[in-house]
Structure 1
Amino acid sequence: MSEWKARRFWTSAEVSEVSEGFGIALDGRPVKTPAKRALVVPTRGLAEAVAAEWAAQEAVVDPLSMPFTRTANAALDKVAVQRREVADMIAAYGDSDLLCYRAAQPAELVTRQAAQWDPILDWAETALEARLSPRTGVMHAPQTSEALERLSARVHALSVFELTAFHDLVSLSGSLILGFAAAQDLQKIDALWDISRLDEIWQAEQWGKDDEAEAAAAVKFQAFQHAKVVFDLSNSAF
């Protein structure tokens, strides 16, 4: 039996301003999330991105072609109902941040990690008022409670939609600090992505590229870029 697929039934997808923000209407009928909540987003820009996805659908609706809609659904149906737990999970990355775990050798890799990662930790000390310290090896060594509490407070201060996008910025990069760096435009998003993949890039330089790994990384980079766009459209304010 073939899988049932939703078919387009509307002629127009438009943004509608409502008391809670901005909704999307299909021929005047409000769009709802899979959990039957009203699909309402915080800014017109984000609503327009969602509406454009609905307008672009053809005879059969393809959810995979609707990343803004999927993100909005996740924010409303998942993150909003467990906001504290999600924020705690994201903040926990600070205690095992990618930028803090350094190689002991070879010297070239050690030097490259210090050159690319130290300046971002220095930036975080000033911009985020939290100093994370690097260590050699992969064994966990906790950061100071003061630094972690300050980072956690910043994560918890994010709105639901910011938090949804921020989750991907952090989880895809493996770094809470890089997530904040992306959110605050410390560097271009592609440069920050390369910084998060420093070890993989170095390995590829030594042994050659793995096509399957490169393809997987490209998919993740696309998601990383999307998360940054959603964060910006959610009207971020630190």
Structure 2
Amino acid sequence: MAEWALKRFWKAAEVAETDGGFTVHLDGRPLRTPAKAPLVMPTRAMAEAAAAEWDAQEAEVRPLTMPVTRAANAAIDRVRTHRAEVAALIAAYGESDLLCHRADSPAELVAWQEAAWGPLLAWARDALEAPLVVTSGVIPCPQPADALSALQARVAARDEFELTALHNLVGLSGSLVIGFAAMEDAVAPIEELWDLSRLDETWQERQWGVDDEAAAAAARKKEDFLQARRFADLARRSA
């Protein structure tokens, strides 16, 4: 059976100010989330981006073409109602951050990882007050309690919209440090941060060639990573 699809029924999508922020009206009617909560966003910029997504829909609504709307829905329906659990899940990445787990051979890869990831860990030490310990091979390495506490506090300080963005940035990159760097526009441009999260995969491709299916999956993940950073920008109260 074909999945039911929502048809376009409105003529215009417009931004409206409301209690607590901004929303989108479709022909004067305010949008709600899938859980039927008011779709109230923290900034006009986010609401304008969501309205543009609704305006761009044609005969049928295609949710995959509406990343801002989908992320705002997730922030309200899921992250807001499970805030502590989401924050804990994100912060846990600090215990086994991608940047802290290095290859022990070959020498070229070891050197490449240090040159590429060292500046990010130095930034985490100085800017995030979280000096993390590097290990090689598969042996787990406990991280300093003070560093983990600092990271946990920085995660917990984010609102539900920023947490939604950070959750995606961290989950896609495998690194809490890269997630924070992307949120803060620090260390490197956003596309370079994505490339830094893919260092091991890039090394394998150089040794064995590119697998088309894996490359397509990576391209989709990169787009999601860039969209998460955009959502973080739209969530800023000064936007």
Instruction: Report TM bin, short chain.
Output: over 0.9
Asked if 1:184 corresponds to 2:184, the answer is yes
**Aligned positions of 1:85-104 closer than 5 A:** 85-104=85-104
Measured in 2, the distance between the counterparts of 1:64 and 1:202 equals: 31
Measured in 1, the distance between the counterparts of 2:237 and 2:131 equals: 23
Asked if 1:230 corresponds to 2:231, the answer is yes
Measured in 2, the distance between the counterparts of 1:69 and 1:133 equals: 38
- Aligned match of 2:201: 200
Q: Which amino acid aligns with 1:188?
A: P
**Residue 236 of structure 1: CA displacement?**
6.7
- Aligned match of 2:147: 147
CA contact under 8 A between 1:162 and 1:236: conserved in structure 2? no
Aligned-pair identity (%): 59
For structure 1, list consecutive stretches of 5 or more residues without a partner in the other structure. none
- Aligned match of 1:12: 12
**Aligned positions of 1:72-83 closer than 5 A:** 72-83=72-83
SS in 1 for 2:25: strand
Cα RMSD of the aligned pairs, angstroms, is: 1.1
**Residue 63 of structure 1: CA displacement?**
1.2
Aligned residue pairs total 237
Measured in 2, the distance between the counterparts of 1:132 and 1:232 equals: 27
User: 164-173 or 1-10: which moved more?
Assistant: 1-10
Structure 1 outlier segments of 4+, above 4 Å: none
Measured in 2, the distance between the counterparts of 1:40 and 1:126 equals: 36
Cα distance 1:236–1:92, how it changes in 2: closer, same or farther (>3 A)?
farther
TM-score w.r.t. length of structure 1: 0.97
**Residue 4 of structure 1: CA displacement?**
2.1
CA contact under 8 A between 2:42 and 2:237: conserved in structure 1? no
**Aligned positions of 1:1-238 closer than 5 A:** 1-186=1-186, 187-235=188-236
Cα distance 1:236–1:95, how it changes in 2: closer, same or farther (>3 A)?
farther
TM-score w.r.t. length of structure 2: 0.97
Measured in 2, the distance between the counterparts of 1:110 and 1:199 equals: 10
